[in-house]
Amino acid sequence: MSWDIFIQDLPDVPSINDVPASHRPRPIGDRTGIIRKIKEAVPFAEEQDQDWLFIRQPGYDLSLQLHMEDRDTVRYIVAHVHGGDQSAVCVAAILRALDLRAHDTETGELFDGNSLDESL
């Protein structure tokens, strides 16, 4: 099963339906810092090109696409989950490392990684 998770600046609300219509997500950080934090959380993440990281290990199969505001600033990240029974755990670790929230397109809700085993 494949789905996308949008990692971005989201307010601290209980549901995606509670995000105010007036909310305009801010950029999430500089490219170098974002990649460093992702690699600290997921040491086997591999950079490819300027805007992609791939995470492929047994149990993990996802790619991270950095959407840029400008040359150095990341606006948001899309985690393309291609499979792997531990990929959601990986996304949860990335969210904790970046101190961000995410919108899960599979459920239509905020991604809840709190109930997942935290070990990679």
pLDDT digits (tens, 9 = 90+) for 57-99: 999 999 999 999 999 999 999 999 999 999 999 999 999 999 9
Fold that domain 3-15+25-110 belongs to in CATH: Cell Division Protein Zipa; Chain: A, (3.30.1400)
CA atoms within 13 A on the CB side of 17: 2
pLDDT in tens, 11-52: 999 999 999 999 999 999 999 999 999 999 999 999 998 899
Distance CA 8, CA 103 (A): 8
DSSP secondary structure string for all residues of 10-57: --S-SSGGGS-TT--PPP-EEHHHHHHHHHHH-TT-EEETTTEEEEEE
Strands 109-110 and 46-48: unpaired
Domain edges within the chain: 3-15+25-110
Count other C-beta atoms under 10 Å from residue 117's C-beta.
Answer: 10
Question: What mean pLDDT is reported for the chain?
Answer: 93
Asked whether the beta carbons of 35 and 51 are under 8 A apart, the reply is: no
pLDDT of 1 reads 64
